[in-house]
Amino acid sequence: MSRSKLVYTALAAFAIISAVFALRPSEAPEGGLSAATRQQLQALQSADMKKLLLHPAPRALATAPYHTATGDPVALTEHKGKVVLLNFWATWCAPCRKEMPMLSALQSELGGPDFEVLTIATGRNDPAAMARFFAEIGVENLPLHTDANSAMAREMGVLGLPATLLIARDGTEVARLLGEADWASDSAKSILKTLIAADD
């Protein structure tokens, strides 16, 4: 192929790709963190909380529902209006066992109309094994929700466990931490309290 044909082919391909992206609706939702809130949260990050990645732009939540212990489907949008700490876990996940009591303590201390710890077991997790998991580590105040086919986790790009996502009041994901973390730390509590108090 001649050089001129290569150039025209490349230009045509570029034009097609540009047109496709121009016609696609914007996938980035509005909302998220203000610059002031972002600076506050960054200043509070220490120890394990340095692994918390604040997104440069808000991310949309999954449209796939999770299911309650009684099998009812629930959309993440139903939690809009409160700050949510969404934790994906599994019964076979050793780090999940270590950090779950800390999440339970957060729910006891901060849970209410403005904040909720939402735990969702993703993948194949036997309900009886889930109940035993919580009983063995003394957790009684967190939900036994499931994402049995991992549809929600896949849609939200969760590739490993545990994965903890912070959802702002406006119903957008604003931060994410992969792997276990000390959620009982002063840094974690300060970050969550700041997010709860934010006017964003």
**Per-residue H/E/C for the chain:** CCHHHHHHHHHHHHHHHHHHHHHCCCCCCCCCCCHHHHHHHHHHCCHHHHHCEEEEEEECCCCCCEECCCCCEECHHHHCCCEEEEEEECCCCHHHHHHHHHHHHHHHHHCECCEEEEEEEECCCCHHHHHHHHHHCCCCCCCCEEECCCHHHHHCCCCCCCEEEEECCCCCEEEEEECCCCCCCHHHHHHHHHHHHCCC
pLDDT of residue 199: 85
Name the residue among 85, 141, 145 with its Cα closest to residue 115: 85
pLDDT in tens, 115-131: 999 999 999 999 999 99
Task: Decide if pLDDT at 14 tops 80.
Answer: no
Task: Decide if pLDDT at 3 tops 60.
Answer: no
pLDDT in tens, 147-175: 999 999 999 999 999 999 999 999 999 99
pTM listed for this prediction: 0.85
